[in-house]
Amino acid sequence: MFARFIVVATLVLAGPALAQTGPQIRPGLWEMTMSGMAHKQTICFTPEMVKDMKSLSQQKTPDSDCKASNESVSGNTRTFNVSCTKPNKYDAKISIAVNGPDNFAMTQNYKVERAGKGQVQTGTMSIAYRRLGECPK
């Protein structure tokens, strides 16, 4: 559940950052591999999402209020901060490096306070994305 929250927050906020980072990514089926996790997930980026990656930010869950700030660009890398207060307090510094139209990587240093539990977790997570091909029809 915790890792899913981080992935959702990251995907929601990665869209606008990718849209403004150097090379564009191609539409299609993408595989994401998170550091420290054995399983991989796939996501389909449509031509509309790639054209205007900001559309991903419209896929927020109703109980989330995440916002991005302090964006900066250096070469093919964009960094920004993410803050959420619900469903959990979440703060992260995220770095996205687009390594070509079929490959990008994201690293985040995060701190999460789980709502109502008083638990705080900090760490670093890296997610590698690679294009697999066309999206299934």
List, for residues 79-135, the tens digit of each pLDDT value.
888 888 887 888 999 888 888 889 988 899 999 987 777 789 999 989 899 999 999
Q: Average of pLDDT values for 31-55? A: 79
More confident residue, 28 or 68: 28
Report whether 132 contacts 28 (CB < 8 A): yes
More confident residue, 114 or 70: 70
Q: Average of pLDDT values for 66-70? A: 83
**Structural domain for 121, as ranges:** 2-56+65-133
Question: Is pLDDT of 69 > 90?
Answer: no
- pLDDT confidence band for 52 (50 / 70 / 90): low
Q: What is the pLDDT of residue 22?
A: 47
Question: Is pLDDT of 76 > 60?
Answer: yes
| Overall domain count for the chain | 1
- pLDDT confidence band for 62 (50 / 70 / 90): low
CA angle 32, 21, 113 (to 5 degrees): 55
Question: DSSP H helical segments within the chain, as ranges?
Answer: 2-19, 47-51
Report whether 55 contacts 49 (CB < 8 A): yes
- pLDDT confidence band for 1 (50 / 70 / 90): very low
